[in-house]
Amino acid sequence: MAWYQTEIFWVIVKVAVILFVILTGGAYYTLAERRWAAFFQMRLGPNRAGFWGLLQPLADGIKFILKMETFPRNADLFLFMLAPVISTVTSLMLWGAIPFTPIIELPEAAQKITGSKSFILQVSNPNAGVLYMFAVSSLAVYGILIAGWSSNNKYSLLASVRATAQMISYELSLGLSIIPIILMTGSLDLYTIIETQKNSWFLFTLPGFLAFWIFLVSIFAESNRMPFDLAEAESELIVGYHTEYGGFKFAFFMISEYMNLITLSLLAAILFLGGWTLPDFISSAISNVWLQHAAGIGLFLLKAFFFVFLFVWVRWSVPRFRYDQLMDIGWKVMLPASLVIVFIAGIYVYLK
Amino acid sequence: MITGYWPYLIHFGIAAAFVAFLLFLTTKIKPANSDKAEKYPDTFECGVPRKGDARGMFNVRFYIVAVMFIIFDVEAVFLFPWAVSFLDYKATGLGLFILAEMTVFLIILFIGYFYMIRKGALQWEDPE
């Protein structure tokens, strides 16, 4: 095979693996959320389908497929069908830039089969990976906006307008909160950002520590999660922008929300907690290279899992904000704070 | 230099094809329904019959928020290249210069920001 054929072949394999993992992860996150919610409320939660309810996502999926399909009478049908597709495709695209593994040198035998010297579980390594992530994730706004507008329901429209205003407001502080990281790294490449944190995570530097809290609050607002889930305030707007959706179209919205949460958790682990890097004193204690890689990747997933759990933990612990409070926090606290942090980071990097 | 983005075209193609295929599959599997009133129900408004159209007016503040977003997002666009090249400038001894430049930029931005607050662009209740 020519070189580009092998390249394309491996890209397709990686995309297939990543799509499978993210879809399964998103499906099982719904189960985890329900189980943990039950745990917080001293209930049992779904535990009938399979051991510990582990087959529950499958049962849900079958039920979603078998549901009768309805379309609102006065909806814009093309946009109505397009909205869940946009939401899902954007959240599926997001995993393309995340480096799940370090560059692994392959042994001789594997080199012959794969035709390349090293392996990395990342669809591509663009030199502006961070920008790619933020660009694609901001496209998710279109899914919500189109969903609310096309279903021609007053509650859906109101919810989608609210969600859009909220997401674009917090996108500012989200974008500004990673500037300290870029300042300290001097690169937009996610791989370089991880490697720079080999011996000290960005969380433990002054600007990184300050920016982390902005980032944390912003990802909650960005993904419409609990303290900021004004788009789905069921006491005010029936269920939000997907009121009119049922069956698999609703499942797409649901799963894309959970996939986005997983992506943001991974991103938080990459940007602030050092990704899969091991500090020198640990990597020198492990002699085998493969064990080192396994430990690093395991730690990376563990860090991401902490944020995955945090999303649920906060959801069942904190009450919802009022809409004007939400906007005030976004524009009058987070935005000036993140601008000041950019300035602090500039001074910090200059003096260092 | 922009390289390494072509795999995302493949990624997009596979993802879109997968989602479209699933949507198509559900239209084939789901129970057949010939009753028009059931297939195309009225939009749900808490159980009472629908009144009017949803595409009416909504609060103008959402529009103002969108305008302000454009301003500050463009500003973030200016900050990104500054952040990337900061270390290079520092290495050539121009660190103070580029820091001062961004400070001026941020101060101008803050003036605009306070003007915006004073004008009440973020006031969600009526003043009285």
Tens digits of residue pLDDT in B110-128: 898 888 888 877 777 765 5
Tens digits of residue pLDDT in A289-323: 888 888 888 889 999 999 999 999 998 888 888 88
- Nearby residues of A133 by Cβ (< 8 Å), 6 or more positions away: A94, A97, A98, A190, A263, A267
Q: What is the pTM of this model?
A: 0.89
Confidence of residue B32 (pLDDT cuts 50, 70, 90): low
Q: Do A331 and B122 touch (CB under 8 A)?
A: yes
Listed by number, the residues of chain A in 33-62 with a beta carbon closer than 8 Å to a beta carbon of chain B are none
Tens digits of residue pLDDT in A91-106: 998 888 888 888 877 7
Instruction: Give the residue, A338 or A278, on which the prediction is more confident.
Output: A338
Cα–Cα distance, A219 to A215 (Å, whole number): 6
List chain A domain ranges.
3-351
Which residues in A lie closer than 8 A to residue B10 (C-beta atoms)? 8, 11-12, 15
CA distances (Å), origin A158, targets A86, A118, A142, B75 = 20, 50, 15, 29
Tens digits of residue pLDDT in A218-259: 999 888 887 887 777 666 777 778 888 877 888 888 888 899
CA distances (Å), origin A68, targets A1, A65, B19, B80, B101 = 47, 8, 19, 48, 61
A155 to chain B, any CB pair closer than 8 A? The answer is yes
- Is 50 exceeded by the pLDDT of residue A119? yes
- Is 80 exceeded by the pLDDT of residue A213? yes
Tens digits of residue pLDDT in B9-18: 888 999 999 9
User: Chain-wide mean pLDDT for chain A?
Assistant: 85
- Nearby residues of A51 by Cβ (< 8 Å), 6 or more positions away: none
Instruction: Give the residue, A348 or B37, on which the prediction is more confident.
Output: A348
B128 min Cα distance to partner chain A (Å) = 16
CATH 1.20.58.1610 fits domain B6-118: yes
Instruction: Give the one of A157, A182, A347 whose C-beta lies nearest to B84's C-beta.
Output: A182
- Is 50 exceeded by the pLDDT of residue A56? yes
pLDDT at A305: 92
Confidence of residue B3 (pLDDT cuts 50, 70, 90): low
Confidence of residue A262 (pLDDT cuts 50, 70, 90): very high
